[in-house]
Copies of this chain bind each other. A is one copy, B any other.
Amino acid sequence: MLDKVNLSDRMARIPDCWHPRIVGELNGQHVKLVRLQGEFVWHAHAEEDELFLVLDGTLRMELRDGAVEIEPGEFLIVPRGVEHRPVAEREVRVLLFEPAGTLNTGDAVDPRTVADPEWLP
């Protein structure tokens, strides 16, 4: 039998910010959950488009030509090659869809890089 995934239950088991966990895989893509608080690093992904679906809180996605405020129940797709910086004044909980192997920090050098995110069973 197939198992469903409850987003709140899984999110409650994530202990730290800026560290995505994998909760699903399909067609070479990963579904990840992540808690964000503060300012991330400017970066882009050379080969990967990235979807940010906000579950709780407000995510400000800074882009070189402006910023988008993403509220719960809204998503933004950042195409490959587009520089972006996620900023969360208060904690935000986000679902990510992106190709397996996508680095959270893209082309940036940053101590928050998670080279090999864990599955959250």
Contacts and interface: CB of A to CB of B under 8 A. Distances in A.
Chain A contact residues: helix, strand, loop or mixed: strand
A70 B4 contact: yes
Contacts of A26: 49-51, 77, 79, 97-98
Report the copy number of this chain in the oligomer. Answer: 2
A2 B97 CA distance: 17
Interface stretch (A5-13, A36-44, A111-119): A5-13
Given A5-B75, A73-B6, A29 B31 contact: no
20 contacts: A1-B65, A2-B68, A4-B68, A4-B74, A5-B75, A7-B75, A24-B51, A24-B77, A25-B77, A26-B49, A26-B51, A26-B77, A26-B97, A27-B48, A27-B98, A31-B51, A31-B75, A31-B77, A31-B97, A97-B97
